[in-house]
Amino acid sequence: MTGIVSNRASTIIPSITLSLNTKANALKEAGEDVVGLAAGEPDFETPDIIKAAGIRAIEEGKTRYTPAAGIAQLRKAVSKEYSKLLGVEYGWKEVVISHGAKHSIFNALYVFTDLDDEVMITTPYWVSYPEMIKLVGARPRITELSEKTGYKLTVDHLKAQVEKGKPKVLLLNSPNNPAGIVYTPKEMEGIGRFLLDEGIALISDEIYEFLVYGDTEHISPVKLIPELKDQTAVVTGVSKSYAMTGWRIGFALAEENAAFRMGAYQAHATGCPNAISQWAALEAIEKGQDDRERMRAEFEKRKEMFGQRLSKIPGIKFPDPGGAFYFLTDVSGYFNACGVKGSSEFCEKLLSEKGLLLIPGGPFGCDNMIRFSFAASVDQLNMALDRFESFISDYS
């Protein structure tokens, strides 16, 4: 214990993605010449029809507490839409609305684990996973993946891990942050089938479900294996697909008892999600498809442009992102020349010498890599690449 702070709380570290994003914005506001590709959020405005629904909710006085698990209208709309999408029936009581997908993952971890249970995650993992797992009193079991399998978990790998000891939960994210990798339906089905046979619970983080490019398709494990429903929480939300990050609405779909417990936990921990945002999210789910597709198509163009330029830089390797809006890039070949020991020092040098702010891979479990977000305008992306190329050529 340090002063009044408990041992448990003393181990929590801030989120690198949120803090570097804040830093990039502060530097820009202070008039510094900084280009930041740190943000893991769409740069688009929330679509007008969704904003209008939020304004309407305020004008109509829909500003009081709602049921802890969300307004029935939104739970019913999610249930209708996702039962179609997932090909599995989810009743409206099997939907829990929360303060963003981050909160939904936390709730699912809380409901699926007991103290000291293991939750398997794979590298590169989203930065918040290990911390969230520790916060609920469970233990992260980090499985290292490499370029050899395209940073994907294979059934063989999973089997070998389970032989050493069975985790209670697998927390899997496809399309993935930070690498943009997307499991093929065949790969996902193999994993799902194994989890079903072994009775391992699944938290399937599908927050980037609609942001896929080219021939890539995202298919939920629950759609591939409907029997998985009873041991799975599918987590998603409106943040990324509808440019609604600050509205803070996510949701989990799970069988009724698990959903009930998530709602009960939420009732005591945070209370209902923001009432106004819930009405705006309802509009997004019911009428936001055209805007969603417009933004996805724009991300796809940026991805092509960015990938083409990045691939021409000597010694830079990256998996082609089939989804989400990130390039995770191996820059370790330049560490010696730059005189740095890892991704954090590399990013610090890049910021101080070229005014380019990127996210180091270390906190995602891959210290050889750095993350570029392509959720920025084409001008910003080109400026970032100019600076990156210049930095690399200084040390080539």
Which DSSP state fits 183?
A: -
The residue (of 54 and 334) whose beta carbon lies closer to ligand PMP is 54
Residue labelled with tokens 């699944």:
202
CA dihedral 11, 16, 21, 25 (to 10 degrees): 60
Residue 176's closest CA among 214, 208, 224, 135?
208
CB of residue 239 vs ligand PMP: minimum separation in angstroms? 3
Q: Which does 15 bind (CB under 5 to 8 A by kind): ligand GLU, ligand PMP, none?
A: ligand GLU
Q: Which does 236 bind (CB under 5 to 8 A by kind): ligand GLU, ligand PMP, none?
A: none
Residues that bind ligand GLU (CB under 6 A): 15, 17-18, 40-41, 102, 128, 177
CB of residue 204 vs ligand GLU: minimum separation in angstroms? 16
CB of residue 364 vs ligand GLU: minimum separation in angstroms? 9
Residues that bind ligand PMP (CB under 6 A): 40, 100-102, 126, 173, 177, 205, 207, 237, 239, 245, 250
Question: Using CB atoms, what's the residue nearest to ligand GLU?
Answer: 40
Residue 343, classed as helix, strand or coil, is helix
Residue 155, classed as helix, strand or coil, is helix
The residue (of 126 and 388) whose beta carbon lies closer to ligand PMP is 126
CB of residue 16 vs ligand PMP: minimum separation in angstroms? 12
The residue (of 113 and 177) whose beta carbon lies closer to ligand GLU is 177
CA dihedral 163, 168, 173, 179 (to 10 degrees): -50
Q: Which does 239 bind (CB under 5 to 8 A by kind): ligand PMP, ligand GLU, none?
A: ligand PMP
Helix (H) or strand (E) holding 360: strand 359-360
The residue (of 53 and 324) whose beta carbon lies closer to ligand GLU is 324
CB neighbours (10 Å) of residue 300?
16
CB of residue 129 vs ligand PMP: minimum separation in angstroms? 8
CB of residue 359 vs ligand PMP: minimum separation in angstroms? 11
How many angstroms separate the Cα of 362 from the Cα of each of 326, 378, 395?
A: 15, 27, 21
Q: Which does 205 bind (CB under 5 to 8 A by kind): ligand GLU, ligand PMP, none?
A: ligand PMP
349 and 355 in contact (C-beta within 8 Å)? no
How many angstroms separate the Cα of 390 from the Cα of each of 164, 247, 384, 387?
A: 47, 38, 10, 5
